[in-house]
Amino acid sequence: MGLFNFETTPAKAVEMLGSDNAAKVDKGIDFLVAGGSDMIPFIVDTFSKEVPMADKSKKHAQIAQNLYKLLCKSDVPYQYCSSVVLTLIQKPATVSLDLSALPETMAESSYTLLEETFRTGSVDIKKRTLPFLNKVVLQPTFLDILAPLLTRESGMMDESLALIPRVDGDLEPISDALYSAMNIYPHGDSAAASILSLKGRLLPNIPMLNKYLDESNSPIQKRAVSLILALAEDGNGVLGDESLYTLLERPLEEDESARANALEILERKQRLTPKQLDLVWMILVHTDSNLTLERGMKFFGRIESDVRSLIYWYAENGSREEIIRAFQCIHYMKESGPVLCSNLLPIYLNNSPLLLEQAGYPAFKYIALMMKKNCDGDPGISALAKQMRDYCVSENLDTPSEVMSILGNSDLADVIEWSVKRIFESYGIGYTTAYADEMLKGISELVGFDKHILNAFIRASGYAYSYDSFENILLPNNKEVVSAINRLRTINTPATCNFLHFISKKKDITITCSDSEGNRASTLQFSFEEHRKLAQDELLRRDSPSYNPQNYLKPKKF
């Protein structure tokens, strides 16, 4: 007896597809296939009826699966494709059919249905159309559907972002909506990534990027900075790289958060383009954050071979602030630092306007510090230090300690002597511990005496008095001054010998006091003969050592 003892019909063939007998299933498929294109309408109609029932029984599910496989292998006429696709969109979620197996031609033939379904359907229906939309090229009109969905409330943000690249033609109509999506949590990064993926097809939205760059200390500003850098680096194909980098110049000049955001992105790179190097330099010049400054300096130190020519140029041609930053950068450069300083030393030494005007006093300490670090032993650095020191003296400015540390012994001694003379000629006015600290500022590591010795000299240089009223104004009190002189007498060092020389020449002074109305109240002369005699006697006891500015220096250890 054969497998079948009855005449096969289309309906019976469909029944066979739900059998547990594989041979019977194959027989049913063979029958339907043998019907050719004339069988397609029946198969499509039957498929549309079986799929909704597929979650009700195993038999219906198996029939639906087999019919689907058959349809995927068949050349379905375009007029029936939409029916198949609609059935798949509306199928119960529990029914499993491999939608990726559907031929692209079937989805393309159903484009009108897909667009309308995605436009009017619920969120669930929209999501059900995605597998089919991903098989077709979307027409420009689809942008009108996607733009309103680029919101958090739509529930379709990520899916819509994924569809934009599939739209054919001009993408500008969705630019505002897409760039707005950059500022929607938590989809902002996805939107920025989508924009970047469309480079060459979508012009950068300059107004919106500028708006985001102005939003200081915000995630959207950081996202905008990152996007601009990525678009500029990859090459947009529509707007030149230079224009995109220029877009960052204003926020980098004005906003610390923009500087920090840009540096965080750029410092991850192993190599920078010349335009990117310029951006980091802008960050260093304009930052008011020590953290940003140090991070930028360290980053330049890691890529010193790339930044060497840039640092050299600004050290010689930049503004004062740029010169300072250039020498600060040299601090972090292990290999190029000595080379740069060696090249810059004769330039600064032989170019007074560059040193004294273009760089100027605020830059002295940075120049001196780097010259000492990188050119120690070069006789040129002491000559350079003398130029800076002479300028400080002529302008009545404190010589920075960094400059003094590279002075030759003779010049350094002169600087310290200048400070000592200022103390003596002030007659100790303003004597406090803070005053002593100020006088030793910058030279405490270079002098051969301690602060308490300087304290004694300040007291010894001065005078003490008190007053009860305008009628009884000045009551001399020498006790503190004499005590300070005796303190110097008990310490026999070259420095105290110098101090005693000053005290031995202490001139008498006249003090005039006025009443509350500005009228002279009294005049009194102070004689410091006792002070002079104490100092002279001690110098004589020490065999009359000569005054020598070198006495102020800390003895060198050999």
DSSP-derived secondary structure for 492-554? -SHHHHHHHHHHTTPPPEEEEEE-TTS-EEEEEEE--HHHHHHHHHHHHHTT-PPP-GGGGBP
Element (H, E) at 342: helix 336-349
365: left (phi over 0), alpha (psi -120 to 50) or beta: alpha
**DSSP-assigned letter for residue 447:** B
The per-residue b/e assignment along 451-486, b for 16 or more CB within 10 angstroms, e otherwise, is: eebbbbbbbbbbbbeeeeeeeebbeeeeeebbebbe
* Sequence-distant (≥ 6) Cβ neighbours of residue 5 within 8 angstroms: none
pLDDT in tens for each of the 558 residues of the chain? 344 445 789 999 999 999 999 999 999 999 999 999 999 999 999 999 999 999 999 999 999 999 999 999 999 999 999 999 999 999 999 999 999 999 999 999 999 999 999 999 999 999 999 999 999 999 999 999 999 999 999 999 999 999 999 999 999 999 999 999 999 999 999 999 999 999 889 999 999 999 999 999 999 999 999 999 999 986 543 445 557 899 999 999 999 999 999 999 999 998 899 999 999 999 999 999 999 999 999 999 999 999 999 999 999 999 999 999 999 999 999 999 999 999 999 999 999 999 999 999 999 999 999 999 999 889 999 999 999 999 998 998 888 889 988 998 888 888 788 888 888 888 766 566 777 777 777 677 788 888 889 889 988 988 765 555 445 444 556 788 899 999 999 999 999 999 999 999 999 888 777 666 666 666 777 889 999 999 999 999 999 999 999 999 987 653
Residues making up the chain, counted from first to last: 558
14 close to 46: Cβ distance less than 8 angstroms: yes
Q: What is the pLDDT of residue 155?
A: 93
Q: What is the pLDDT of residue 238?
A: 43
Task: Give whole-number Cα distances, 373 to 206, 364, 367, 370, in Å.
Answer: 46, 14, 10, 5
Peptide bond into 186 cis (omega under 30): yes
* Sequence-distant (≥ 6) Cβ neighbours of residue 513 within 8 angstroms: 467, 470, 473, 474, 520, 521, 522, 523
Look up residue 359 and give its amino acid.
Answer: A
The per-residue b/e assignment along 300-325, b for 16 or more CB within 10 angstroms, e otherwise, is: bbebbebbbebbbebbbebeeebbbb
Q: What is the pLDDT of residue 431?
A: 65
Q: How many CB atoms lie within 10 A of CB 209?
A: 21
Distance separating alpha carbons of residues 495 and 472, to the nearest angstrom: 39
83: which 2 tokens?
Answer: 């029916």
Smallest CA-to-CA distance from 181 within 164, 198, 157, 201 is with: 157
Please provide the distance, in angstroms rounded to a whole number, between the alpha carbons at the two ends of the chain.
120
The alpha helices in 91-240, defined as continuous H runs, are 104-108, 111-120, 123-133, 142-146, 157-163, 175-181, 188-197, 206-213, 219-234
